[in-house]
């Protein structure tokens, strides 16, 4: 058969368009739905498994605008999960609390406050420190902890491994401590309450075995903090006591933790 007589065959390929439910778009939507449900049930579990103070502590942790919270919790902070304004509990690790057991038995259900400093005043002072910390250096907030003790409001200036408050084994203050003391002094400059300054150390002993021990070091560091306060213009007549407590009142359960190396400034109740 010649080429002219060959039939022309046209092949038409039929393309079947897949229906919508056979595509992949639904998988993305389903994955989003499952993720949202997982997050929802995780949230429900957290709300059921935590206390109000712990939830507040979690919220404070994820809020970058609050380097220091007036009310915090979670169990590992300075309050051991208690609120700063709690009315039926005292701070579990009070610093320098004289006669703490007697006070707890006498006023077990009474709020602990500094007369002349109500909740609003304390909140204003904390907000002032917040603003000063943010303006100076947000990392400074890692060094500042608050708690209430039977004696009054305790401001803890704690050490950190990579940013110490003093030179090692020395009472020479670092620029970090100078900045922190200045912030505290500015925030409480108009408070008439007496204050007490206490120095603390970790449990590491001096290797030379001489007469200079952590007792002398903690006392010298407390005096260094007193001199820094005086340099900022804080009235010397309002400083009622300066003492060192060595490693007898650790901030952390670990006796060698750097956070045990700290300065405690207590705004004393007026009746003490």
Most confident of the ranges 115-124, 177-186, 262-271: 177-186
Q: Which CATH superfamily is domain 83-268 in?
A: OmpA-like domain (3.30.1330.60)
Kindly give the interhelix angle for 25-49 and 52-61, rounded to the nearest 10 degrees: 130
List for the chain the helix, strand, coil content (%; round to 5). 40, 15, 45
Q: Hey, where are the domains in the chain?
A: 83-268
Q: What is the pLDDT of residues 182-228, one digit of tens each?
A: 999 998 888 888 999 999 999 998 876 678 899 999 999 999 999 99
Q: What is the pTM of this model?
A: 0.59
Distance from the first to the final alpha carbon of the chain:
123
**Six token digits for residue 122:** 């304390």
Q: What is the pLDDT of residues 83-133, one digit of tens each?
A: 343 333 333 334 333 344 444 443 444 434 444 566 677 777 777 777 777
What is the helix (H) or strand (E) element at residue 186, kind and residue range? Answer: helix 175-187
**Six token digits for residue 245:** 């407590």
Place of tokens 């003490």: 272
């Amino acid at each position: 058969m010649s080429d002219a007589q060959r039939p022309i065959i046209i092949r038409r390929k039929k393309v079947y368009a897949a229906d919508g439910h056979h595509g992949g778009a639904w998988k993305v939507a389903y994955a989003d739905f499952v993720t949202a449900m997982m997050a929802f049930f995780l949230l429900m579990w957290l709300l059921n498994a935590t206390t109000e103070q712990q939830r507040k502590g979690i919220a404070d942790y994820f809020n970058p605008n609050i380097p220091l919270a007036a009310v915090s919790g979670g169990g590992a902070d300075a309050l051991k999960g208690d609120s700063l304004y709690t009315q039926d509990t005292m701070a579990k690790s009070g610093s320098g609390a004289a006669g703490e057991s007697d006070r707890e038995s006498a006023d077990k259900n009474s709020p602990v406050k500094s007369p002349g400093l109500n909740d609003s005043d304390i909140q204003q002072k904390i907000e002032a420190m917040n603003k000063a910390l943010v303006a100076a250096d947000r990392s400074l907030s890692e060094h500042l902890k608050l708690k209430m003790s039977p004696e009054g409001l305790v401001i803890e200036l704690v050490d950190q491994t990579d940013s110490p408050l003093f030179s090692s084994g020395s009472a020479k203050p670092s620029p970090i401590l100078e900045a922190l003391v200045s912030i505290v002094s500015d925030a409480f400059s108009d408070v008439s309450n007496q204050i007490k300054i206490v120095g603390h150390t970790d449990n590491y002993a001096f290797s030379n075995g001489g007469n200079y021990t952590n007792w002398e070091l903690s006392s010298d560091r407390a005096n260094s903090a007193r001199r820094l306060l005086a340099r900022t213009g804080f009235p010397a007549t309002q400083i009622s006591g300066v003492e060192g407590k060595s490693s007898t009142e650790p901030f952390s359960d670990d006796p060698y933790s750097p956070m045990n190396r700290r300065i405690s400034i207590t705004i004393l109740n007026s009746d003490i």
